[in-house]
Amino acid sequence: MASKPARQPAQAPLERGAIPWLLAAAVATAAPHASHLPLWLSLVTGGALLWRGWLWQRNGSLPARWQLALLVIAGAAGIGWQFRTLLGRDADVALLVFFMALKPMEMRTRRDSMVVVMLGFFLLLTHYLYSQSIPTGLWLLGASTLLTATLIRLHGGAQPVAAILRYAALLLAQAIPFMLIAFMLFPRVSGPLWGLPRDAYAGLTGLSDSMSPGSLDNLIQSGAIAFRVQFSGDSPEKSGLYWRGPVFNDYDGRAWRAGLTQRSATPSVEATGKTYSYVTTLEAHNQRWLLALDLPLALPKDSMLSSTFEARAREPVLNRTRYAITSAVSYVANRQESPAVLRQALRLPPRLNPRSRQLAETWKAEFGSPEEISDAALRMFRRETFFYTLRPPLLGQQAIDDFLFTSRRGFCEHYASAYVFLMRAAGVPARVVAGYQGGEVNPIDGYLTVRQSDAHAWAEIWLADKGWVRVDPTAAVAPSRIEQGVEAALPAGDPLPVLVRIDTDWLRDLRNRWEAANNSWNQWVLGYNPERQREVLSRFGLSEPDWRSMTAVLAALCGIALLIVCLWTLFQRPTATPAQLAWRRFCTRLERRGISRAAWEGPLDFARRVEREHPELGALTREAADHFADLHYGTGKPEQVQQLKECIRRLPRQSPSTWRHTI
């Protein structure tokens, strides 16, 4: 009868001691997804992994396959109901996490365990779809080490935990040179690497393409970073840091919108003072405008200056973008303006805010120039009882009248909106500009950090022979907002992000250091785009690198790194443990008596051969081999080292023939 074929290693039963490693790897790869998964799915995942751990501890039987099939159907149906689809980023990641929770329930062979490990590596990649921060990178590095250690435990048998983790870390450390070479030289792709067409840009925050009461208030309560700026040389005073965003021309009585911009002559900006050059790192905001110091003179490529002096990219900013701009804070903008643009800057909805219109008509009759009308509005804000707050009362249909004559409480968009309405009603062309004002220099890296809480709105009026002139009504009500920042202008009870209200030196220093580290990560890792790659490679002599030259250099450097790693592996001398040294001395003593151990022979196999061929030394060799096996493979006790050394001392000094003769 033909013999039964030997069981393949992949089909071998799973060793009991490897199961905790697999469960730990499943937890490490799935746990971070709990922050964006539905609560019920996180509870199901945690419950399934705890159940599997309980079965391992109790030596319980695994569920039947039909039971697992029912769980898979129920879980997939629940995920489909939760996300209304089984396609897309969130639904697919949820399915992967659910499968990771159920796969350990059918782990019976080594092949099943390999599926868990490979699924864990794949699941790690999905974390970058949600976060690419430093903590995410550190967590994934630790989880990768754990997965590698799990592979070592599966194929290497029982060993000390510290030894397995050390070996896994060593393996990953050997891959670091290849990772750095590939990162520096592999051709980069434009756009975000970790994204999906439909939902990669969900949740991006920033200025909107419209402005209504409350829109900026909500944005200002966020401490998220909007962009960072590095000046080439001196920077303007804080009161001159106006970062221009969208410009709003159309007003419907409630909200301001850009509307259809009337044709204008080519935007003309004449600098009347010092110019400033700087590099901006703009966070993704899903809009086309590039935040620029008011007003931009020189723009980056693939951008343009609109007729309302907005720096606009060709496509929406869907990933972190780095660009260089030159601006002037003292200027004359469009000294000559087209009649169509001026008519648009005078339009108001009919029959709204009659009291504000009447006040503007009074100023128009009383004062002879637009400058005097503007001064009258600012004087009203400055001298009368107006309050700067993030908690203004709700306004009715006559919003401007309610604000100017009843509530008198508002934020920057209230004051800018009311001012522009008054100017238009008085016959002065005016419009609203949204953007950011101010920023804080991080002393660690020298970057100016502008947060969403620095969002601001101001106004522009057009004056003959002076062009468009910036007017900030908020400065008349709360000058500290412009000079010191939003936190200095608001009442103590108004909500602001914790990061903005920090006034303790050590906490502020800790925040600055963390944000500087994040900025370096963003600049050199996440922001390593094709332009940045060309900039770096040009410093190493590759002035115009293409994919052919980069591939050649990549192959050469990887070959050199591989040679170095191989030489290091060949010439390193592993440090022997006390147990190994003692076992070698024991074998050396036996060899002097004509009993040699083959290189392939394990300690227990060697002891069995000695028992057969030299019974007089068999018991002592078996005792020494047992001690060494226990110590070397992780189940021994420290005192066994001394017992192994005692076996060496008990070996007789005579040759085997002499020893038998004396007996």
Of 580, 584, 593, the residue nearest 652 (C-alpha): 593
Instruction: Name the DSSP letter for residue 453.
Output: G
Strand (E) or helix (H) holding 228 = strand 225-231
289 by Cβ neighbours in 10 Å (0-12 / 13-18 / 19+) ranks as buried
DSSP-based three-state secondary structure for 206: coil
Give the residue ranges of DSSP H helices in 59-202: 65-83, 89-102, 110-126, 134-156, 161-185
Give the C-alpha separation, 408 to 418, whole Å: 11
CA dihedral 85, 89, 94, 100 (to 10 degrees): 130
Catalytic annotation on 412? yes
Of 310, 318, 257, 315, the residue nearest 285 (C-alpha): 318
List the catalytic residue out of 402, 472, 627, 647: 472
Give the C-alpha separation, 564 to 558, whole Å: 10
Give the C-alpha separation, 309 to 269, whole Å: 9
**What are the φ and ψ backbone dihedral angles of 269, each rounded to 5 degrees?**
-125, 120
Q: Cα separations (Å) of 492 from 148, 216, 436, 453, 488?
A: 52, 19, 22, 16, 9
| Cβ atoms 342, 261 nearer than 8 A | no
Using only C-alpha atoms, what is the Rg of the chain?
36
Give the C-alpha separation, 434 to 437, whole Å: 9
Catalytic annotation on 112? no
List the catalytic residue out of 33, 127, 285, 412: 412
List the catalytic residue out of 33, 285, 414, 456: 456
Non-local (6+) Cβ contacts of 166 within 8 A are none
Catalytic annotation on 234? no
Give the C-alpha separation, 148 to 162, whole Å: 13
Please give the span between the terminal C-alpha atoms of the chain, in angstroms, as a whole number. Answer: 50
Strand (E) or helix (H) holding 475 = helix 473-477
Enzyme catalytic residues: 412, 456, 472
